[in-house]
Structure 1
């Protein structure tokens, strides 16, 4: 009986890189004349950024807006997310001897805000409240709070309840028993996941600026569209300094929280830091925008059933959904397969250092700016959006993979080298093979993120649901907007289910 061939773990980590082949073929075939000069000017601007004091002062103020927005949105989302996560935990409701049905209903409702990307929230709130600094804060807070609530609730449900039951049987009140039993473990989750969400908030605040919601992203987009690459790189280097400082600080933070046994006092101290971040960020924004005033609601005329039916008949559903799914598959393939592929080329320290700088650069540039840059020498295609989205997420995947490989035991690789295996084979099976399941598990989660982010490149690249959503928003076609949002949320929720299943499979293998 012939056994079916099954690819090995490292092969499964490398195979997604095949998505690069059709993407690069389409992109390279669509290159037009003059593109080389534009790219040469872009690369030259990286080593010769503008040092004009007026420009630097303007960029620093824009960077202040971005950082203050990220800090405020991050703090608000953590506080709201923890509260919602507790309220959506059936275990806590049953501990207080309350029925668990409200917790289940809240958990289902929270799936809707987290399924919609923060950029869509920003564009919708912009239509309702106008241009206001707190619109960007709310756009980050709403989906992030729902994501934090999901992670917090899942972690609460996965904890061993024996300690909680012992405290309750000893006569402790439900509130004190929950805090004593869960605070140390959940404090580690809050500090680790909270740090990750702060990095995401900084990237989201920059992205919202690209679409006109203020901050450094707006300046970067204007510099790119006017081909002022030296000014563009000045802003990118400033953003890089902030990002690298944040990454190093969070790395030390994670190492400390991972080595220390968290006490209740440390957890309360971290909560106080989050509250302070909200206060400082809010006051910072008030100082930067003294004339902003309160948010003013602009009433909307909601569409009736007839308008929804007409919009459903007008929209090109199959092409939109197909392009969105293809964007996701191609970008996810690039994000998952590119990091191990380039790491396989060489294992020397210099090459790893160069790749570390590359991962930082790829994470630094928002995907819409990459799309705009590619459009300077190319025509709009789905491949451009997939390449921009894949490279940005490859920066995230590459950093995590490289950090994991650096921390991994080198014994298997050394043994393979001693037995006569080549350098690449020993790296592939001695280092990458044990790391492949965790890399693929995070790749499954990242694919879910990419599905949400397809709207980002679709808004510029002219493909998928994102493009149609932008068209409907700009024409105030609210019936189409509602239908597109509903379909987008449904697709992302289905993707979330598939992502969770794939992640569990690889974590258990």
Structure 2
């Protein structure tokens, strides 16, 4: 027996049952009035000129760190992606084994969240904007490298083999045969990573690395909700403008012409892309100068404290089963909430046209609102623990998955939904069977990938006492227990790599059945 696609789509929402059972025991009455003040401040943010100037300055720093980290990750990712491509090594050297070795090495920086990189680099380089830039560039570069190498290896090699048989040298044949079809995928994924870089720069600011994230955390902790919403609305405006601009460029540069690849259209897109790259160089240099990010600053390392005596024994004595178990439980709860709630909420608001508008706004806030700040808000009314952390992570990822599902359902076309509605089906059933049924497996495939991302993100909600690896890792880092830290990083990296493998298998299976 197999679940029908509509039921398969809603199955992850079953995690609502254990969460609903656990919530009454976690509630406390200490902060409901503060939650009301927080929500009320959303419609009357501070318009004080000093507050606006401070928020704009913090937003500029966050956007600058995101731009520099994104640019560095793209350059790093393209170079490493080419170097880890089996097709490239087989063409140039006749053997793919160097690509396999480099892929395995790149899995290590990819498995460690940018927050961990930021906190580690903070201990070595001190507090400076370059720390946030590197913290974004290292894991993002490894992620871009993986995507570029996968895209390159998935391209058909018939044209490449024909050029090689005609006597063309290897590099020229690779560039001619595989460069143009690779470009749309790189543009599309590169735009997505810029959105992620902005969110990551905000998150790093929450943990003290500067920018608007630091201001948001300070205003939340001091209960200055009107000032907090001033910064949050500005961040939302920038995020929406960025998403709209990236979508426009993706459609203009990353997609083939409808009536074939007309030479005029391709030439125009190529010239526009080259012009954008040329304009990006002085912009990046100006931002780096404004933030005082220089390569020379990375050469001044601070000495680390010595390893404590008997630290390895303490590391071995950590409650590993509980730490790993709570981390996996947190991942499953947050992933179930994010994947299952998106279609469920869309079905609930299906009869009301304004419902989707409210969901879009709530999901946009969820995408940019850092999970640690959501966790701090939840602590006003909930006790710390795994469920509280899962709600914070689930809301953030719900914003990402909800946007994806909404865009995919709108692109699917209304014909089947209209046919079911004309036959007498209600608006919810027409939406479920008319649009969601065909999207179920591809949406769940992306949900499997998102679950792997959530496993990495469990570290960012360690401050709410989730009692998992993330909480223990942040506590160990603050105590400078480097031996325990290395052990925790090794276990964390192993878990994320296993999760990545499982999500890849689930994704391939779902897409194959779709």
Q: Name the TM tier (shorter chain).
A: over 0.9
The SS at the match of 1:258 is coil
Q: Deviations over 1:258-295 (max 9, x none)?
A: 24448588568647745754652343243244999723
Per the alignment, residue 435 of structure 2 pairs with: 431
- Residue 452 of structure 1 deviates from its aligned partner by 0.5
Which residue of 30, 33, 40 corresponds with 2:29? 33
**1:138 paired to 2:134:** yes
Residues 301-344 of structure 1: CA distance to partner in whole angstroms, max 9, x if unpaired? 6759x956413322110111011000000000001000100111
Map of 2:96 onto structure 1: 100
**Corresponding residue of 1:316:** 319
Match of 1:258 in 2: 255
**Is 2:379 the counterpart of 1:383?**
no
The aligned residue for residue 502 of structure 1 is 506
* Cα displacement (A) at 1:25: 3.7
Report if aligned partners of 1:404, 1:435 keep a CA contact under 8 Å in 2.
yes
* Alignment CA distance shift 1:276-1:151 (3 Å): same
Which of the numbers 42, 60, 63 marks the counterpart of 2:59? 63
Instruction: Note if 1:344 corresponds to 2:347.
Output: yes
User: 1:334 — aligned with what?
Assistant: 337
Q: Which segment is superposed worse, 133-142 or 347-356?
A: 347-356
Q: What's the counterpart of residue 458 of structure 1?
A: 462
Alpha-carbon separation, structure 2, partners of 1:290 and 1:415: 58
Q: Deviations over 1:149-183 (max 9, x none)?
A: 00000111111000001111122221111111111
TM-aligned CA distance change 1:206 to 1:151, over 3 Å: same
Alpha-carbon distance between aligned partners in 2 of 1:267 and 1:322, rounded to the nearest angstrom:
50
Alignment of 1:375-414 (within 5 A): 375-414=379-418
Q: Which residue of 363, 371, 377 maps to 2:375?
A: 371
Quick one: distance in 2 between partners of 1:143 and 1:53? 38
- CA shift, 1:17, in A, is 1.1
> Match for 2:236 among 230, 236, 240?
240
Deviations 1:87-106 (A, max 9, x none): 01121112113532222111
Q: Is the 8 A contact 1:74 1:198 kept in 2?
A: yes
Q: Do structure 1's residue 325 and structure 2's residue 300 form an aligned pair?
A: no
Q: Does 1:13 align with 2:9?
A: yes
In the alignment, structure 1 residue 229 sits paired with structure 2 residue 233: no
Measured in 1, the distance between the counterparts of 2:294 and 2:167 equals 55
Q: Does 1:46 align with 2:42?
A: yes
Q: Quote the offset at 1:368 in angstroms.
A: 0.4
CA distance in 2, matches of 1:231, 1:106: 47
Tell me the number of residue pairs that the alignment of Structure 1 and Structure 2 aligns: 504
Is 1:362 the counterpart of 2:358? The answer is: no
Q: Does residue 468 of the first structure (1) align with residue 468 of the second (2)?
A: no
User: What is residue 486 of structure 2 aligned with on the other side?
Assistant: 482
For 1:58-111, what per-residue CA distance to the aligned partner results, in whole angstroms no more than 9, with x for missing partners?
A: 111111110000001101101110110110112111211353222211111000
Contact 1:164 1:177 in 2 (8 A): yes
Structure 1 alignment gaps of length 5 or more: none
Let me know the Cα RMSD of the aligned residues: 2.1
1:36 CA drift (Å): 1.6
The 10-residue stretch of structure 1 (271-280 or 469-478) with the greater mean CA deviation from structure 2: 271-280
In structure 1, what is the Cα distance between the partners aligned to 2:466 and 2:472? 8
Cα deviation, residue 10, structure 1? 1.2
Matching residue of 1:297: 301
TM-score, with length taken from structure 1? 0.94
The separation in 1 between residues aligned to 2:79 and 2:274, in whole angstroms, is 12
C-alpha deviations, 1:434-478, integer Å up to 9, x for none?
011111011011001101000111244342111111111111100
CA distance in 2, matches of 1:477, 1:290: 29
CA change 1:111–1:272 in 2 (3 A) is farther
Change (3 A) 1:142 1:124: same
Matched, 1:280 2:286: no
Structure 2 Cα separation of the partners of residues 75 and 388 of structure 1:
29
Structure 1 distance, partners of 2:193, 2:212, is: 19
Contact 1:412–1:430 under 8 Å retained in 2: yes
Q: Are 1:193 and 2:189 counterparts?
A: yes
Cα deviation per residue 1:33-52 (whole Å; 9 max; x = unaligned)?
Answer: 23220111000110010011
Match for residue 446 of structure 1 among 450, 457, 466: 450
CA contact (8 A) 2:445 2:510 kept: yes
* Higher alpha-carbon deviation: 315-324 or 264-273: 264-273
